[in-house]
Structure 1
């Protein structure tokens, strides 16, 4: 609960980025996500201090004081006013040279793929919107794969390596690899930025969404290769998956829905997906039921990851239907 709420509060500040840095905002959002991902360094520092003889209690007291100071500074520096703008990404321009029949045909297409900016009037409209439902399913599947890997990593490495010292070594490798999220998040942000030069509206998010799903599929497939060297690849893919997941999630919500609802929609997406990913505990129990249970769980997660590809397909066809009448 602390994690999900913290992410929602953190990303609500990202809404200011497009106003402060309009050019390349996706890159800056990606870098901010990278800094957030690299926060695993905090616990690595606590671990090293503990190994050096410093009680964990003092480390966490120092961390709490630092958080109070940073929170105070951020509150004082936060912009006092938010610019008033409207999201025009999905508006369909009118061509005076079009024939009446063409205009009527265009209107019919738009009616089948309505613009979220004109549709959403309340929280109920958000919850019923096809793009919102599709996106919640997508982020829940991808996040479930990510969280399940983190939650089962120690047990998986223990069974694979059968050596406590090697498990500790690979745990450190995973942590240091995730510190490299600044690089992977920059790549994620730059990918979205590059799409902005090629596409408009939500169409620019199709490839990043599909890439995130493919990373989840790849990570799921690696589970069927139980070899210690593969762990290095696991950690790299995991880092990229996390970076693409959070960066793409934020940018999709920002581009696909009215700007004034961004904070609300992001909070709803994280809350609902957070509740759905509690199913990870059921997967943990399933993995311990019988000898081949871990393989079955991995097959299940692989199938779910493949299903997540439906979201970018839905976005693609909705945007294609709208653009066909322009």
Structure 2
């Protein structure tokens, strides 16, 4: 172990074993506050021809949403659902489910891949957020930020032009567009971190730059930072220190860097997070928001933050 390597053992935040029986994890997500959101489905649908993710499901499925706050878990059940949802976020006093894929069939004929329901699972309304969604993060005030992968930027599933061709968009709670990226040439939004309504970070292919939006959607200003890392799929930050999920072929690696020069991150320490069994945590199901990282592994949720890593350093 070199001086640039850090090992941290984490203790589970909460045990989900009793809540996930009969379901499969779709995603684990941090909300704009201190709540954690877990989206489960009773069965992951098969891919079309073994390759393409279903948008509309071939048979109705049941979703379960776990809302975790201060060690308490609230369950919301949505039965008999016919759309394939991948992520969930709080939206004002309700819940927002979003599917990554949606089809365009013709003028005014397309899938609505965003669904709003109340905390009892009653459906309120649906709207369109576009195909090829990689990330969805919602602010406390109800602004929805969406980042798109390459098929959402260049078009597939019948979309021409695609909704997400700018790579990064923001919407209000009714699905009206508030912000469209015009400054970054985003071919794939690799990572997104919505701090609050006034501050958003994003990282993208092909430039591998960090964009730092301040001023929200009403007066957006962008600062550019070179992280000197390629292919990262997530990061958290306190504004000065950054923890990146590893780049290509290193998805289970974490790298710690800091901004001690304008527009540039320097230093690079490898961070290995270990679970209760002192084995490295698998980052397949993880999320980055503000200065925190959330990880699901073997029925347990783990959380840590930039400040915790600084204590180890």
Pick the TM interval, shorter chain.
under 0.3
Which one has a larger percent strand, Structure 1 or Structure 2? 2
Which one has a larger percent helix, Structure 1 or Structure 2? 1
Higher relative contact order (CA 8 A, sep 6+): 1
TM normalised by structure 2 equals: 0.24
Higher CA-based Rg: 1
TM normalised by structure 1 equals: 0.23
